[in-house]
Chain A
Amino acid sequence: MADLLEVVEVRKSYGGVQALKSVSFSLAAGEVVALMGPNGAGKTTLVNVICGHTRPDGGVVRLDGRSLAGMGPARVARLGIARTFQNLCLFDHLTAVENVAVAVGLGAYRVSDAILRRWAFRAGEADILGRAEKVLDAVGFPPEARDLTPPMLPYGLRKRLELARALARNPKVLVLDEPVAGMNREEWPAIAGLIRAVAASGVGVLVIEHHWPFVQQVGQRGVFMAHGSVIAQGCWSEILSPREVVGRGLGRADGVGAPVL
């Protein structure tokens, strides 16, 4: 079976900084791949290239064998890649359920239906909000907090909300940039379980995360980056022992404290 997402020899420089020096890896449907590496390794840059936010200097990203070259983020998203952001990008003026509703997308009804409050508007609106609520429930978002705006939510719930928003796109590929950063450790197992369930439904998940214990809970395979290059990849047992990962500064033993590098 051809891989769902293929990243082939992707390069990107910012001025003199080579953020990505020919990075290649692939992701199959139903698989969770953990992308690891110290601060500044180029992980977020890679995510931005995959999602169309950053144009690479060279190389290509393919989804289902189709090149995404030259496509903007909206196009890429419509083809089935959804993402979360390392520093939360929520819609602060919208309530939680409205945040997710935006992701459900346009097309349920037309502008004229909304302005004239036609029947299509009522039906479409009920459908959109109903779907949004379902996704929120699926990520364990408390129903009583649905009509709060993100600034009113504790950090962990904001992270869940952003995850729900990405999931509401029904993506083929889900890219999570540090899904548990800043979250309580008690919440890790729930998020890990959620990610595994998403993958089990056939979605390819790319998880960027420093925290080694968390990564081991979710990922079957790891891609290790440092200084813009992939330095190792494969199943956990094939490549590195946990001690090596931590010792070489590729991941962190736990969620607290300063970065290893």
Chain B
Amino acid sequence: MKGRLGRVLVGILGLVLPLGVFNRYVLYLVSLALVYYMAAAGTDLLVGYTDQLSLAGAAFFGLGAYTVALGSGLLHQSWAEGVLAAAAVGAMGGMVLGLPALRVQHLSLGVSTLAGVVVLNTWFNASPSFLGGSLGGSQGLVVPAPTIGGHPLSSRWLWAGIYGSAAAVWAVERNLIRSQYGRILWALKDSPLALESLGTALAPVKMGVFVFSSALIAVAGAWYGLLSGTIDPTVFDPNLSITLIAMAVIGGSGWEMGPLVGALFVTVLPQVFALMGFGPWANLSYAIAFFLTLRWAPEGLGRRWSRAWQTWRAARIRLGRRDVGGRPLGGG
């Protein structure tokens, strides 16, 4: 209970403090970081746990952005309906892409999902209309400013919306990971063979993760559209797919804060460097951080910490390592 109260307090502080401290530009920047956090959280679930190197992230991000733009432009949806519609479109897209993705592995999955992003990019560039609505081609679309009761939302209210959405994503992922379903995900990552032998079929688990992850990334895309006000086919940016994976890797799986750390690192740090006049250092620092995490904490910063704690505990209990394998263990 105490822990929960603390989290609520930190949560309120996180919401209010930026409003008082940051100017509009910085507020936009942290809003953007939270948008990427949501996408990184979705990516982390998929890439971090199922070992499926999907580069489809930008496809769902773009679909989410276009869904909210078309929804409010054509169907006069509210921003909330637009975000929910994006989640639904993302989930459906995840189902469509998930079926073939379950059949291929690693590199071929990466290549085929990346191809999907490029195809969508090209298609949205070339197609002026779809189902009677304008897609804007390479010009893109204007996302009508979100309103409440007819009044446009200020950047502060937009921040509050994004913050609330990100907090919800955080809570969902945290509660999911800290449950039997989270244990199943870790088991899937560590030994699919053993997980199967315990009666859990792998395909439904992987499919579920794919769909869930795609929906999260599409929600992030929808907020991106609302935040930037205009979108164009560059939302289907293959680089974004890779950046999302970088965010997930830097923070690491199994730690709710992982994707947040990764997102802040990738979006805010380069800006900080640029402001300080070290523009060229931004990319370098990013590369160095990436290298260091892979070198010292390949399972991510969060797990690195818990591993250190485990070692300390094991040393204190002293279970005695008398028995070591008597012969090499082959076969299996």
- In Å, the complex CA distance between A176 and B181 comes to 27
A98–B324 touching, CB < 8 Å: no
Is A68 engaged at the interface, CB distance under 8 Å to the other chain?
Answer: no
With A155-B324, A155-B325 already in contact, the answer to whether A102 and B172 are too (CB < 8 A) is no
Contact with A along B299-332 (1 / 0, CB 8 A): 1000100010011011001011111111101111
**With A44-B331, A86-B331 as contacts: A94 and B175 at CB distance below 8 Å:** no
B191 proximal to A (CB < 8 A): yes
Bound complex: CA of A92 vs CA of B194, how far in Å? 12
B200 contacts partner chain A, Cβ-Cβ < 8 Å? yes
A-chain residues with CB within 8 Å of residue B193 when the two chains form the complex = 53, 73, 85, 89
Which residue of chain B has its CB nearest to the CB of A77?
Answer: B199
| CB-nearest residue of chain B to A128 | B180
Taken together as a complex, chains A and B put the C-alpha atoms of A77 and B196 apart, in Å, by: 8
Which chain A positions have C-beta within 8 A of B323? 154-156, 182-184, 187
Give every chain B residue within 8 A of A178 (Cβ-Cβ): 329
Q: How large is the interface on A (under 10, 10 to 19, 20 to 34, 35 or more residues)?
A: 35 or more
Q: In whole angstroms, what is the CA distance A153 to B193 when docked? A: 21
Question: Which of A44, A111, A152, A259 meets B310, CB within 8 Å?
Answer: A152
User: Does B118 reach chain A (CB closer than 8 Å)?
Assistant: no
Verify B313–A152 contact, CB threshold 8 A: yes
Please, which residues of chain B bring their CB within 8 A of the CB of A256?
326
Q: Is B115 an interface residue (CB 8 A)?
A: no
B26 within 8 A of A: no
Point out the residues of chain A lying under 8 angstroms from B319, CB to CB.
142, 145, 153-154, 157
| Contact (Cβ within 8 A) A93 B189 | yes
For the complex formed, measure the closest distance between the CB of A203 and the CB atoms of chain B, giving whole angstroms: 16
Contact of A90 among B194, B327, B332 (CB under 8 A): B194
Give min CB distance, B120 to chain A, whole Å.
29
Most buried by A among B172, B326, B329: B326
B191–A89 CB distance below 8 A: yes
Contacts of A145 in B (CB 8 A): 317, 319
Q: Decide: A152 near B331, CB < 8 A? Known: A184-B323, A256-B326.
A: no
Residues on B with beta carbons closer than 8 Å to the beta carbon of A144? 317
Binds B, one of A3-11, A113-121, A193-201: A113-121
Chain A interface SS verdict (over half): loop
A183 to B189, CA, bound (A): 27
Q: Is the CB of A181 within 8 A of B184?
A: no
With A149-B310, A153-B319 known as contacts, the answer to whether A101 contacts B329 (CB < 8 A) is no
A170 CA to B200 CA, complexed, in Å: 15
Residues of chain A within 8 A of B189, CB atoms compared:
93
Find the residue from B303, B307, B317 having the highest chain A CB count within 10 A. B317
Contact A106 B191 (CB under 8 A): no
Q: How long is the Cα–Cα vector from A152 to B321 in the complex, in angstroms?
A: 10
Q: Closest approach, in angstroms, between the C-beta of B93 and any C-beta of chain A?
A: 20
**Would you give the 0/1 interface string for A250-261, flagging 1 where the beta carbon is closer than 8 Å to chain B?**
000001101100
Chain A 182-222: CB-based contact to B (< 8 A → 1; otherwise 0):
11100100000000000000000000000000000000000
B290 to A: closest C-beta gap in Å: 22
Contact of A117 among B175, B183, B254, B331 (CB under 8 A): B175
Q: Are B310 and A114 in contact (CB under 8 A)?
A: no
Selected from A88, A91, A111, the residue in CB contact (under 8 A) with B187 is A91
Q: Which of A88, A90, A93 has the most CB of B within 10 A?
A: A93
A51 beta carbon closer than 8 Å to chain B: yes
Q: Is the CB of B314 within 8 A of A74?
A: no
Among A97-114, those with CB < 8 Å from B are: 98, 101-103, 105-106, 108-109, 111, 114
Indicate whether A124 reaches chain B with its CB closer than 8 angstroms: yes
Interface-centre pick from A92, A111, A165, A183 (highest chain B CB count, 10 A): A111
Assuming the contacts A125-B179, A182-B324, asked whether A102 and B198 have C-beta atoms less than 8 A apart, the reply is: yes
Q: A82 near B: Cβ within 8 Å?
A: yes
Is residue A137 within 8 Å, beta carbon to beta carbon, of the partner chain?
no
Q: Mark B171-203, 1 if CB is under 8 A from A, else 0.
A: 110011001110110110111011111111110
Residues of B within 8 A of A44 (CB): 331-332
Q: What residues on A are CB-neighbors of B313 within 8 Å?
A: 147-148, 152
A87 adjacent to chain B (CB < 8 Å): yes
Q: Which of B181, B199, B317 contacts A111 (CB 8 A)?
A: B181
**What does the 1/0 interface line of A52-65 toward B look like (CB < 8 Å)?**
01000000000000
Q: In the complex, which residue of chain B has the Cβ closest to the Cβ of A210?
A: B327
Chain A residue nearest to B174 in the complex (CB): A115
5 A–B pairs (Cβ distance < 8 Å), ordered by A: A73-B193, A90-B194, A102-B200, A177-B332, A184-B322
8 new A-B contacts, CB < 8 A, other than A89-B197, A89-B332, A98-B186, are A39-B331, A74-B200, A86-B332, A106-B180, A106-B184, A115-B175, A152-B311, A187-B323
- Could you tell me which A residues sit within 8 Å of B by CB distance? 39, 44, 51, 53, 72-75, 77-78, 82-83, 85-94, 98, 101-103, 105-106, 108-109, 111, 114-117, 121, 124-125, 128, 142, 144-145, 147-149, 152-157, 165, 169, 177-178, 181-184, 187, 255-256, 258-259
Closest 8 CB pairs between A and B?
A: A182-B325, A114-B179, A77-B199, A152-B314, A184-B323, A89-B194, A86-B332, A74-B201
